[in-house]
Amino acid sequence: MPELPEVETVMRGIAPALTGRRIERAEAYRPDLRWPLPERFAERLTGRTVLGLERRSKYILAALDDGWSWLIHLGMTGRFAVGPRDNAPAEQLGEFVHDAGRLPAHDHVLVETSDHRLIYNDVRRFGAMDLTPTAEASTHKLLATLGPEPLSDAFNPKALGAALEHRIVSVKAALLDQKIVAGLGNIYVCEALWRSKIHPTREAGTLTAAELKRLVTACKEVLTSAIEAGGSSLRDYRHADGALGYFQHSFSVYGRESEPCPRRGCSGEVERLVQGGRSSFFCAGCQS
């Protein structure tokens, strides 16, 4: 669900409503998401101007004008509804029209600027928010151990090879490890492995130089392609409900168990296996 491309898309979607704007009102409807929100969270957002937004791995950082940054993680189901600000109460906005007076299910945080209203909604509440000094954001507990950004030059075959050297975990598990590369989740790992023709159960330390090169390229390609798809989906992101959704993106193998392998010239079939409690989708015909 929200992996790096989706987080990038959400960030681009909320940026126009936040960048350079003053937060005139903020509310937290519960004291915690996955973890407790910081003390006086809503009060500390109120009155702040957002200097800019950036993404690190699957996290969004909104730099505020008081030297602090608002850290956001979407977890599994976190999303923002963005709409124009008006005089209607928050609970009457867009899709959140609902029965008299009751707070819409799973709406947890509200932020209003001079002309926009954002509502953070998170059904499974695996998301997180925190406040961290901007200058030391990279040392925040959630960010400190992250590996390189997959779309940066720091993520390259040589560096990946060094990180995987002698590792006996599967390459699937290794790519999900955010310390090795930061931002991939189950879906894009499956896609990148298929694209690079590497079997998900391969021991990470056994990848050849050629495979490492293919894998790095494949990771960058699947992420870039998904970000582009997300960007095009942003154009009409404010349909009926203003929800910044996770665009419908078609995958080559993810969720396609028993379907023919889409690789040209491959007559294999997509299979599913469970690794570490997570489904891996792959084609035994062309991935080794």
Partner DNA sequence: CTTGGGTCCTGTGCGC
Partner DNA sequence: TGCGCACAGGACCCAA
Alpha-carbon span 26 to 87, nearest angstrom:
15
Per-position x/- string for 210-249, each x denoting binding to DNA as judged by CB under 7 A, each - no binding: ----------------------------------------
d(CA 187, CA 211) in angstroms, rounded, equals 20
Rounded to whole angstroms, how far apart are CA atoms 2 and 230?
11
Binding to DNA by CB under 7 A, coded x per residue (else -) over 105-144, reads xx----------------xxxx--------------xx--
Pick the stretch among 36-44, 180-188, 207-215, 241-249 that binds DNA (CB under 7 A): 180-188
Question: What end-to-end distance do the CA atoms of the chain give, in Å?
Answer: 26
Q: Which is nearer to DNA, 37 or 142 (CB)?
A: 142
Under the criterion CB under 7 A, does residue 202 sit at the interface with DNA? no
The verdict on whether 58 is a catalytic residue reads yes
Which range, of 17-25, 129-137, 152-160, 270-278, touches DNA by CB under 7 A? 270-278
Footprint of DNA on 1-40 (CB under 7 A): 1-3, 34
d(CA 84, CA 99): 21
Which one of 220, 238, 263, 278 is the catalytic residue?
A: 278
**Is 278 in the active site?**
yes
CB of residue 81 to DNA, shortest distance in Å: 16
Min dist. Cβ of residue 178 to DNA (A): 5
> Of the two residues 45 and 164, which places its CB atom closer to DNA in the complex?
164
Reply yes or no on whether 259 is catalytic.
Answer: no
CA–chain centroid gap for 150, Å, is 13
> What minimum distance in Å lies between the beta carbon of 123 and DNA?
5
Candidates 116, 279, 285, 286; binder of DNA (CB under 7 A) is 279
117 is catalytic: no
In whole angstroms, how far apart are CA 283 and each of 38, 140, 252, 262? 45, 39, 10, 9
Question: Which token pair is 201?
Answer: 């159960």
Q: Rule CB under 7 A: choose which of 9, 57, 69, 132 binds DNA.
A: 57
Residues with Cβ < 8 Å from 36, sequence gap 6 or more?
A: none
CB of 211 to DNA, least distance (A): 17
Tell me the Ramachandran region of residue 176: left when phi exceeds 0, alpha when psi lies from -120 to 50, beta otherwise. Answer: alpha
In single-letter form, the type of residue at position 186 comes to: N
CA distances from 252 to 9, 150, 272 (A): 21, 20, 13
Binders of DNA among residues 69 to 108 (CB under 7 A) are 73, 75-77, 105-106
Q: Which of 48, 55, 58, 197 is catalytic?
A: 58
| Alpha carbon 176 to chain centroid, angstroms | 13
The total number of residues shown for the chain amounts to: 288
Q: Both tokens of residue 203?
A: 């021991």
How far apart CA 256 and CA 92 sit, in angstroms, is 39
Which residues in this chain contact DNA in the complex, by CB under 7 A? 1-3, 34, 57-59, 73, 75-77, 105-106, 123-126, 141-142, 145, 167-170, 173, 176, 178, 185-187, 254, 274, 276-279
Residues recognised as catalytic: 2-3, 58, 278
